[in-house]
Amino acid sequence: MLRKLTIAFATLIRSTFDVAYAEEMIRQARSQLLSAEFELIELSQPITNLEEVDHAIKQLLDKPIDLLLIFQATFADSTMITSLSQALQVPLLLWAIPEPWTGGRLRLNSLCGINLAAHALTLRDRKFDYCYGSPQDSEIINKIRLLAMAGSVQRQLRSTRLGVVGQHPDGMDSCHLDAPLINNVFGIEIESIDLQDVFDRARAIPDQMVAQIRQELDRSLNNLPELDQAALNGSLRVYRALFELAYEKGLSGLAVRCWPEFFTHMGCAACGAMSLLSDGFMGQAPIPCGCEADINGTISQLILQMLSGEPSFGTDMVGIDMNDNLIALWHCGLAPLSMADPKSPAKGTIHSNRHLPLLMDFKLKPGLVTYARLSRASGNLRMVIGSGEIIDGPKPFSGTAGLLKPFLPTETFLEMLMKEGLEHHISLTYGDFSEELKALAGIYGLPILWLNEKEVPQ
């Protein structure tokens, strides 16, 4: 369940303009924001001078703000906006309103106010966005929602801790960990966890706990008795061990070196355990898990989960059908169970190469999806964004798999995948959040690689 988005609503007035008209515009804007069900943090009165800016900063400084919305009700010099923006390091939106061209008095001069502020903010390298329209303009309300959702993700990431279990396998440079860069850009802290610590804890999980997990999982998978029971119990122990480590260390996601050691040292697969964690099994909050210790993949999953309020999935792209414009998505067996097509019930299965459980075996349910990747293929971070539809068709491979019809030709997709040298993992969630991802990339100043047919919206 997504929470309400919180907006700090600050209004500016200069008393030499038409104050009554400006106040009516403020009233209308406020009404529209409340009708859109934003949570407003409001000041007691419009800001008219720098002294009142100081008072506003004290009111807003420690509040959980997703977006600072400055409503330029009349012209004012840039000092008030620059002071507010420097003190409150949150996404910033300037809103100016048009007024009738009457041939008479310029009553508000709102546009010139945000123009002056935009120049001052640009000189100070302060990122911002703007809108110009009446309070009744639905496109403005939609833009505010997009920016506030992006701001909410940014605010959550600042206090996020993620765990990396082991190191990525040799030859998988796409899973490389750069903890200082991640912390510098997002504020995310990375906790390194030794594989042996997971194994030791998993082996110590009481049999009673394993039985409880098994009983709950039997509700979703009806073929567990057919699997190797010792290996199955090993996967359930791994699930509980990873859950406990995440809970104790305050971790919101995990990137796990899932092979070969889980097979060779624990005699089981980690895939099923990561599926259960990502899905929010047994009433827990979903903990997105990336395999092969792919931390940027886990961050991508977490961002999508924050936007959608639903679990996300990190997957390989293992085949392309250019005739039908389809991409085969597959990853051993770690997709969240909630992504299973209800017409084809999920089952437990074994790893296709290692022949050990537990993996989830199901077809992804049909529906609109957004896929994304925090990529370093170009040397610097950028955001890969695309959307498409999971279609109702034959499952291409065993494990967790599905057919993606992207919103661009698959020939173009493959060309960009290869020529851009993109990572072999993408993350996806159900719903269309491509515009929100675009807004989030803008907040961080990340370049965008847009994998949709339409151009990147400006």
DSSP string across 23-36: HHHHHHHHHHHHHT
pLDDT for position 3: 75
Cβ atoms within 10 Å, residue 176? 14
Helices (H), 257-381: 261-266, 271-279, 295-308
Q: Are strands 382-391 and 367-375 parallel, antiparallel or unpaired?
A: antiparallel
pLDDT for position 456: 47
CB 70 within 8 A of CB 126: no
Name the residue among 425, 393, 383, 424 with its Cα closest to residue 325: 393
Q: Are strands 67-72 and 6-12 parallel, antiparallel or unpaired?
A: parallel
Radius of gyration in angstroms for the set of CA atoms belonging to the chain, rounded to a whole number: 25
Name the residue among 303, 275, 304 with its Cα closest to residue 290: 275
Tokens standing for 272?
């099923």
pLDDT for position 1: 52
Cβ atoms within 10 Å, residue 206? 10
What residues in the chain have per-residue pLDDT under 50?
Answer: 456-458
pLDDT tens-place string over residues 196-240: 999 999 999 999 999 999 999 999 999 999 999 999 999 999 999
pLDDT for position 220: 95
Helices (H), 159-253: 179-186, 195-203, 207-217, 229-249
**Which amino acid appears at position 415 of this protein?**
E
How far is it, in rounded angstroms, from Cα 261 to Cα 326? 34
Question: Whole-prediction pTM value?
Answer: 0.95
221: phi then psi, degrees, rounded to nearest 5:
-125, 120
pLDDT for position 170: 87
How far is it, in rounded angstroms, from Cα 332 to Cα 329? 10
Cα dihedral 378→383→389→393 (10° resolution): 40
What length is written for the chain? 458
Work out the angle at residue 441's Cα, subtended by the Cα atoms of residues 437 and 443, and round it to the nearest 5 degrees: 115
How far is it, in rounded angstroms, from Cα 111 to Cα 115? 6
CA-based max dimension of the chain: 85
Q: List domains and CATH numbers for the chain.
A: 6-158 (3.40.50.10940), 161-451 (3.40.275.10)
